[in-house]
Amino acid sequence: MFYQTIDILGTVAFALSGVLVAMEKRLDLFGVLIIAFVTAIGGGTLRDLLIGNTPVVWMRDLTYVTTIFITVVFGILFVNQLKYLRKSLFLFDTIGIGLYTMVGVEKGVQAGLSPVMCVALGTMTASFGGVTRDILCNEIPVIFRKEIYATACIVGGFSYFLFVMVPVPEGYAYMAAIILVITLRILAVKFDIRLPNIYKKET
């Protein structure tokens, strides 16, 4: 129940980020719904396909589809209350990657994968929905820019295994890793911390 709650919260956060991007692009109602849907379930779908967990979770449990529909309606009705769309998008996207990173890691643990593969699975779960959203909305995905995004997921994922080894109770380690991902992402944007640029400046 605890892990499903985290999964649902991540679904809401990513669906809202999809709604905000779609409305900023002035898409119609169907477009908003599609963008919210692929943002919310894209990473989880890839994760389930990779570990052979089929039919994928949102096909077996309509809670996820219902949650996305309700979130889309909420986002459309209260978009004016979600002031400063860019900041709201950043907030929901950041919360989403924190939650989904650990959902993916947990799925990897349940599948008996090594910690490295679990972290890779968590990073894909957190990132792929946003990548799909950005591509469909004709944006360069955040994960492909210099911003700290996937790196935060990787650090947070490995921190979970370190916390468990200390040892920290599993539930606390899980929550600490989520908070670490979110904190790293916020600090990176606030202080403009970026990955090194491999391209030389033109003279």
**Residue 124: predicted pLDDT:** 96
**Residue 202: predicted pLDDT:** 55
Q: Which of 32, 10, 13 is nearest to 23 (CA)?
A: 32
Contact status, residue 8 vs residue 67, Cβ threshold 8 Å: yes
**Tokens 């890839």, residue located:** 46
Task: Give, for all 203 residues of the chain, the pLDDT tens digit.
Answer: 778 889 999 999 999 999 999 998 999 999 999 999 999 999 999 999 999 999 999 999 999 999 999 999 999 898 877 766 557 788 899 999 999 999 999 999 999 999 999 999 999 999 999 999 999 999 988 888 767 889 999 999 999 999 999 999 999 999 999 999 999 999 998 888 777 766 666 55
Dist CA 5 CA 8 (whole Å): 5
| DSSP states along the chain | -HHHHHHHHHHHHHHHHHHHHHHHTT--HHHHHHHHHHHHHHHHHHHHHHTT--S-HHHH-THHHHHHHHHHHHHHHTTTTS-SHHHHHHHHHHHHHHHHHHHHHHHHHHTT--HHHHHHHHHHHHHHHHHHHHHHTT---GGGSSBSSHHHHHHHHHHHHHHHHTT--HHHHHHHHHHHHHHHHHHHHHTT-BPPP-SPPP-
**Residue 200: predicted pLDDT:** 62
**Residue 86: predicted pLDDT:** 59
Rg (CA), the chain: 17
